[in-house]
Structure formats: C-alpha cells, structure tokens
Amino acid sequence: MEYPLPIAQLIDSYMKLPGIGEKTATRLAFYTLDMPMQDVSDFAQALTNVKSKLHQCSICGNITEQDPCSICSNPSRDQTMIMVVEQPKDVMAFEDMGEYDGLYHVLHGVLSPMDGMGPEEINIKSLITRLQKQDQVKEIIIALNSTPEGESTAMYISKLIKPAGIKVTRLAAGLAVGSDIEYANSITLKRAVQGRTSL
Amino acid sequence: MEYPLPIAQLIDSYMKLPGIGEKTATRLAFYTLDMPMQDVSDFAQALTNVKSKLHQCSICGNITEQDPCSICSNPSRDQTMIMVVEQPKDVMAFEDMGEYDGLYHVLHGVLSPMDGMGPEEINIKSLITRLQKQDQVKEIIIALNSTPEGESTAMYISKLIKPAGIKVTRLAAGLAVGSDIEYANSITLKRAVQGRTSL
C-alpha cells in the first residue's frame, strides 16, 4: 500500500536531510502527524525564513540578517586581523570561545578538486578584494580543519597573500585538551612534537 | 555568540523531533541553509500539507485524504473481519504483507494509565459503535504489539466484545522468522512452545 500523498512527500523531504534514511524519515513523518498544529506551522515557517531572511554578508561572507553583519559593522573589533574559516558554524565556535575580537572571512568550502571545488567556487576572490580595500589588515589567521583539503586551501591562500607583506598564521596543531596520547593518531603526535613549547 | 534568529528558530523546531538533540539539530539547520530553495519550500509545504490535508477516517480512524478511507469504502474487501491496530503505520505494514483483505480499526494508542491513556483517549468507543452498526462482522483480530500495554489493551477489548458473540483472535506470538533461538527472550520462547503447531 502506498502512503497517502502528503505523508509520502514529507518522507521524501526528511530523506533529503543528511544521515536520515527511509525508516527514520517515515518515523519522523508519522511523528509530525501527531505534533501540535502550532509546532508544525512554526517548523514550516522556520524553514522558509532560514532561506528568505538570511544572506551572506557582502564583506565577510558570514550568514546574517543585516548586511554588513554585526561583526563587520562593529568598529570596536580589531580591524587588523582576519580569521579565515570554512563555515558560518566556525565563526560561532570562535565567538563562543570569546578570546578573539578580530574580523572573519567565511570561505563556504575548501579546495577539493575531486568534488569540483576550485578557487572560483569558494570565497577566496572576495578575500583578496577585501585586503586591497582594507589596508589596515596586518595578519590573516587561517583556521581551517586539519584535513588534506583544509591544508591545501591554507597553502593556496598563504601563497596568494604573502607577497602583499601581510603576516599569515595558522592555528596550532597538537593534542586536543583532555585527549589521550594513546589514542592520538601519528600525524597529530608529529605536529604536537614539532610545535612543542617551553615550560 | 547567539545564532541569527531564523537559524535559532529552525534549530528549536528540529529539536522537537524524536531522537534529535541540539548538536544534530544545529547540523541539520546549517545543512538546510545550503539546500536548494525548491527543496526547502517543498519541505515546508509538505509539513503544512500533512497537518491540513490528512484526517482520520470517520469509520476506522486510519489517516486518509478522503473520508471514508480507501479501505473502508472498498466493497470488495472482506466486511466480516476487522483488524485492530495501534497506529496508521501498522495498517501500512499489513497492507504491504498483501495477505489480508479485511477491514481495519486504528486505536491511535494503547491503554497506559501511567501515561494518562485510558479507554476514552483511544479509539475504542468508535469500535463498539461500529460493531453495533456493521452486524456482518464475525471476527476481530487484535494486532497490537506484545508489550504489557498492548496485552492489557487486547484483554480490555476482548472483554468488551466477546459478550456480543463476535470471535476475538490475536496474532500468533513466537520466534520471528530468521531470528535465533539463542537470542530470544524467555517470554517469547514460552509463547513459541505454547503455540507449537504440528508438522
């Protein structure tokens, strides 16, 4: 027996989310059927809003309701530093840390030729344009994940920017705080030894 | 840093789904942000439709777009048997099996005094009314889960219906096909022995 059309369509939509297969999607669709009307209409509204009300900041590429975003338009932030991150989520993570008060630049991806992600597909060009306009920038901190794609994107950006005389740094690699040496992989250990600091 | 409001609202909505915590909801919300506009608006529409276009069949309680549902309004189905199930999903499961061509009655729950589910909260009254009207019914098959709540609901319905002279049966309990005796629990084994059939 086919599911009634509205249920079948909702199952299809849930299945488009990452990590949700047919069984889970079906369970979620039937659960939705029993949810209070208000919760479901709020959910539908939230889905629509997230696409219609959020945009990329024209300066840094972070997601925002106003353009420019609250970080780019805040004059009390340190205008001499730009931290380059992959995703808007990463900006949230560094803001939650609370120790960094410079600016950001969100690439929306990393270089990955296998997935068709070249320099044109990510937000690199706007970073260069930005550096030409904002000549007070002294340091670019590259805060990309320690994956092969992250590393090669870091190298690419570094090569583009260094000739302009701007300092390019990247995050320290090493043991995560609270982690166990026994379970660390050998590349992490190698980086931890290379980057050892004096006590 | 707070998430922009539209993202925060979508995270809240995802968190109302079963088995989805804050981390997963955040991941889904950011994923939604990068989904094609069409997929997101289809998703929002499907959510709205599932609440507005589906109703309970006034006869059997199954979810349906038309009332009465396609099963109740099909005269070629066996009108002498009603299978009592807990959820609309169970109807789908039996229809997929393809061996049963009687009618259904969907309780939308089982008796569970601890959760405030008494006979008034589930679709039992409408079953009795239905049996008074449809006097061709000869057998009620109780197809509820083998949980304490399912068993006590089965007993309750059986006691209500038996005085009317209608046969009440329930699904066979025993080993699932393809399962391993080694891993079966003792109640299942007890039922399998009690219900043994001759070869």
**Domain residue spans of chain B:** 77-172
Q: Kindly report the nearest CA distance between residue B165 and chain A, in angstroms.
A: 32
CB proximity B15 to A under 8 Å: no
CB proximity A55 to B under 8 Å: no
B1–A65 CB contact, under 8 Å: no
Q: Kindly report the nearest CA distance between residue A135 and chain B, in angstroms.
A: 27
A46–B13 CB contact, under 8 Å: yes
pLDDT at B1: 61
Q: Is the pLDDT of residue A104 over 70?
A: yes
CB proximity A41 to B under 8 Å: yes
Q: Determine the Cα–Cα distance for residues A142 and A157; give it in Å rounded to an integer.
A: 9
Q: Which of A104, A75, A13 is nearest to B36 (CA)?
A: A13
Q: Kindly report the nearest CA distance between residue B198 and chain A, in angstroms.
A: 33
CA A180 distance to own-chain centroid: 27
Considering chain B, what percentage of its residues have pLDDT values greater than 90? Answer: 61
Q: Is the pLDDT of residue A199 over 80?
A: no
Mean local confidence (pLDDT), B49-66: 92
What's this model's pTM, rounded to 2 decimal places? Answer: 0.75
Lowest pLDDT segment from A20-24, B1-5, B160-164: B1-5
Q: Is the pLDDT of residue A95 over 80?
A: yes
Q: Which of A41, A82, A83, A87 is nearest to A63 (CA)?
A: A87
Q: Could you tell me which residue, A44 or B182, shows the higher pLDDT? A: A44
pLDDT at A183: 84
Lowest pLDDT segment from A189-193, B104-108, B113-117, B118-122: A189-193
CB proximity A54 to B under 8 Å: yes
Sequence-distant (≥ 6) Cβ neighbours of residue B195 within 8 angstroms: B172, B173, B174
User: Does residue A50 contact residue A60 with C-beta atoms inside 8 Å?
Assistant: no
Query: What tokens appear for B114 in the block?
Result: 């601890």
CB proximity A7 to B under 8 Å: yes
Mean local confidence (pLDDT), A107-111: 93
A44–B47 CB contact, under 8 Å: yes
Q: Could you tell me which residue, A157 or B199, shows the higher pLDDT? A: A157
Query: What H or E segment, with its residue span, contains residue A128?
Result: helix A125-133
Mean local confidence (pLDDT), A36-53: 94
Strand residues in chain B grouped as ranges (E): 55-56, 63-64, 81-85, 103-106, 139-142, 167-170
Q: Is the pLDDT of residue B170 over 80?
A: yes
A47–B37 CB contact, under 8 Å: no
Would you state the torsion angle of the CA atoms of residues A114, A119, A120, A125, taken in this order, to the nearest 10 degrees?
Answer: 160
A12–B46 CB contact, under 8 Å: yes
Taking all residues of chain B, what is their mean pLDDT, rounded to a whole number?
90
Q: Is the pLDDT of residue B162 over 90?
A: no
Q: Which of residues 74-93 of B touch A (CB under 8 A)?
A: 87-89, 91-92
CATH 3.30.70.1350 fits A77-172, yes or no: no
Mean local confidence (pLDDT), B23-46: 93
- What pLDDT, in 10s, does the model give residues B174-184? 888 888 888 88
Q: Which of A153, A157, A177 is nearest to A167 (CA)?
A: A157
pLDDT at A126: 92
Taking all residues of chain A, what is their mean pLDDT, rounded to a whole number?
90
Mean local confidence (pLDDT), A118-146: 91
CB proximity A177 to B under 8 Å: no
Q: What is the number of helices (H) and of strands (E) in chain A?
A: 7, 6
Residues of A in contact with B5 (CB under 8 A): 53, 65
Q: Which of A195, A110, A122, A128 is nearest to A166 (CA)?
A: A128
CB proximity B6 to A under 8 Å: yes
Q: Determine the Cα–Cα distance for residues B89 and B94; give it in Å rounded to an integer.
A: 9
Sequence-distant (≥ 6) Cβ neighbours of residue A67 within 8 angstroms: A55, A57, A58
A48–B54 CB contact, under 8 Å: no
Categorize the per-residue pLDDT at A1 as very low, low, confident or very high, splitting at 50, 70 and 90.
Answer: low
pLDDT at B79: 93
Residues of B in contact with A25 (CB under 8 A): none
Mean local confidence (pLDDT), A90-97: 87
